[in-house]
Structure formats: structure tokens, C-alpha cells
Structure 1
Amino acid sequence: MTATESTTEVPPAEPPVQAPPSPIPAALPLQPEDPPRVGEFWLRGRLGANAAGYLYTASDEHGRHAVVAIMTEGSADDAAARDRFVHAVDSLPEDVVLAHNDEDDDDLALWAAFGPIREDDGSSAAADERLLAERRGEDVLSAVLMDRIPQQGRRRGPDFRHYWEGRRRPGLFRIWPLPWPTALKPASWAAIWYALATMLLIMALALLTAWLLFKDSPPLNPPPVIPTPSRTVTTTITPTTPPPGSTGPPSTPVTPDPSGSLPTGTPETTAPSPTNPGDKF
């Protein structure tokens, strides 16, 4: 008796399932104290912060994306901390430091931009470049803070702490050219034009309302005195008729001075009659 051999078909091997690309972490919104721009990079959001400085996601007008590290006001006022920042930036390869300000700017906080970072197209390469640039910025700030130096010997006494760690606001910065209106998006431009058009319309309606209210108003009586080009004023006084029963002389019209100047001084007064007892007091 012969055994029958059974053949089974082996299904083809499926291709390995690729892991989805890791998304780029979203940045936090900028705070009012954050600089809108450092150098040629516009800051878009916060990535992290410690006592030594802040990390921001940024991009310039040419479409380059980067991670910007800037010192806090406390660390920027410490000469030793500034030296550690400069040394940490100089130790990185030149192609990963896109820009930085001058270390001689004693009144400004030091900053540096790390990259390059490609446009976020959903690929893992863009996420890796962003995370790598962010890691470089963290290393620079950690060098300023000196929190990754290995402990030598046993711990004794209080823990080490920089005297400037409490001053955690972003350091001083200088913006030139000014951030407005270069940083405005098309939607912001449209809002500005709509606001200007609305303001002009309100002004036109106000002028039209004023013209309609005062176009039929009667002229002033007497009219206002308008000086002539020779700076003279002509005043006309109409004589009045004395009332019936008045024994006083009729009023005499006042003739203006030919020189055009107004009369000055006090008018003449009539001495009281000694026979009238009412004039004694």
C-alpha cells in the first residue's frame, strides 16, 4: 500500500506593516511676554521652558522652519550663563545652527535657531527633524542651567541653585523691522481694510448729518465780528430812542475810532445831586 502525499498551498508572506509616522508635537500658544520675532525668525508657539530659557517653533519669510532657544532675563544677566550658552552653541555643527545673535549684545538675551526642519507633510522624517532640533535646544539650555553635570562625591548640605532662577520671563529682545504689518496673514489684512472702510463710512455719515442739521439754520444776529486783513474791527452801534417820560438827553451815537481800535477806559459818570437824599448812600 502506498501513502498518498498531500500538498498544502503556503500563502504568500504579507509585507510588514509600517508604523504610522509619529506626529509632530503641537506647540503651545505664545504668551503676551513672548517676543513675536527674534532675528529673521517669526515665533509661532512655545515648545518648552526651564529656568535658563525658552524653546519656540519658528519660521522665517523664506519658508525655513527652525526651533529657537532664547535665554530668560535672569540667565541673560549672568555673564557666566551667557558664556555657557555661547560655548554650547559653538560646540554644535555649523549646519544645524541656522542663525544666532551676537554675543556682544550685553543688553539683549542670547538666542539661537536650530534646524533645518522640513515642512510638516505627515512623514516621519519631518517629525524626526523637529524632535532633533528641539533636543539640541534642550541641550543648550541644560548647559546653561548645568543640570546634567554628574554628581561628584556624596551629597552634603543644601542643593545647588542659581541665584537668577526666579526671574523666568523671556530676556530682552529687539525687533527690527517692526512686526507689523509683515506678520499679518491675508485674513488679518482683510480685517484691517474692513475696519478702515467702516471708519471712513462713519465719518462720511457724521459729516452728512451735521450738514443736514445746520444747512437751514438762520444767520446769527448780530453777526460775528470778523477782523479785516489790516487787523481792524468795525463796530456799528444803532442809537436807541429814549422811552416816553424820560427827562434825560437822547443817547448819542458812538462814532468808532478811525484808527480801528476799540475805545478803552471808564465811561464818565454824573455826580449825584446833593438835593436828592437818595444819592447819599
Structure 2
Amino acid sequence: MSDVATPLQYGDPPRLGPFLLQARLRVGPAGLVYLGLAPDGRPVSVAVLTRGAALDPAARDRFVTGVRDAMASRSGVRGWVVRAARGRTAVADALPQVLAMDGGNAPWVATPYEPERAGAEWFLEPVLVSGTLIGERHGPDFAPHWVGDRLPALPPPPESAPPLTETRRSVTLAGVALAALLMLLAVMLWFLLRGEDEFEQPRRPLPSTVFVPTPPPVPTTTAPGRPTPSPSPSQSGTGTPGPREGDGGEGEAI
């Protein structure tokens, strides 16, 4: 594997699980190793299989089995039994600590990053079985079909809504248009009901005309010592005039 750290390239995942990936540490035929950050801020190394290796059930099984064996070798009584049975106490103690792993369709493992000790790249070595590479002295002279792949296996994308077909698009547009039409009808009905309520309100009565009587004229004097009688209401109109002075009327005293 190459030990030269390089920036992330097109196709590299921005994160794996809770770990934020920052750069490539190593690239090999079995997988890639990244430098990342854990949620608590400490540096980690993350190894993920290549896309071709992840699609090979045998290669994926060797990777996942190696990670699980390392976790068992470092854990309590079970780890002591495994180390004693296999006689690999020194090797088990040298195994990196597994912080997290994923054994699904895109397997990866994260370990603490220590420049002087083996990191996540440890678990990529069992993926290539000894003796399977071309040119080796022992084993068949063939290489796995995925050797040469440099693209990491990516976790499956989150499920998204299926794309709208032409029929679904037409139905959606028809539903939106119908909703807009119903809203318009509701607004028009509201205005009509409001106008009828204002029309049915009783109108305020007009003020009645107040008749102001004309004051009688002020009497004027025609002869010394004798005022001129004021015309009676019957005399102001077109009725029969009353008796005048000097006539021999019935009501005049003799």
C-alpha cells in the first residue's frame, strides 16, 4: 500500500458512520484507508473495502471475520480464551483497537490513529489470501477479478421518493388546479354572503320636515287712537271676508 496521504478525491465518501473523513492515508487492491475525526475530536483511521472487494462474498467475509476476531481477542475472558487457544497473545496485543465497524454491503472499520502503530489497514491484509497474486511462488497463479479497483464501496444512499411519472405528474397538477378553483369559489361565496348581509340591514329613516308657522304681522295704526284690526285666519285666505267698519252688519251695535 502507498503511505502517501492525499486529499479526498471524487468518489470518496465524506463520512462513514459517525466519523468525518479528511484525507486518504493508503490505497491498496483490497481497500482504502482514510484519516478521519471521531465525534470526540480524536484522529482515527478508517478502512473500507473497494467496490469490487465488497461485491465478492469471500473477500467481504474475510474482512468482517478478521475485524470480529480482533474484537474478540481484546475483550475480557473470551479474549483470553481465544488468545490461549490460538497461541497468539503477542499478535492479539498488537491488534488495533476497534472503535466501530459495519459489516453490511459496504464494510468498514475504524481504529484509533497512531502513526507508530498499525491502524485500520491491518484488516485489509487478510482480504488478499496469501498465494493468490500473480507471480507468487506458492498457490494458483491468478488474481481476484476486482484487483485494480480503486473506488471505495459506498453505503447505500438513503431511500428517496420515487420519481414522478407522466401520469402521476398529471394527476398532481390536476389536484393542485382543483384545490385552487375550490379556494376561489369559497372566496367568491364569502363576498356574496357579506354583500347580502349589508343589503338586508334596515335603512335609517329620513328626518321629517318640521312645519314652522309664520308669525302674524305686526299691527299698524291707520287713524289716531285706533289700531287697525289684524286679519283673522279666515281673512288671510280666500274665504268670505267678515264685516267691515261702517257696514250695517248683523253684529254691529246701533
TM-score norm. by structure 2 comes to 0.46
Q: Which has the higher helix share?
A: 2
TM-score norm. by structure 1 comes to 0.42
Question: Which of structures 1 and 2 has the bigger CA Rg?
Answer: 2
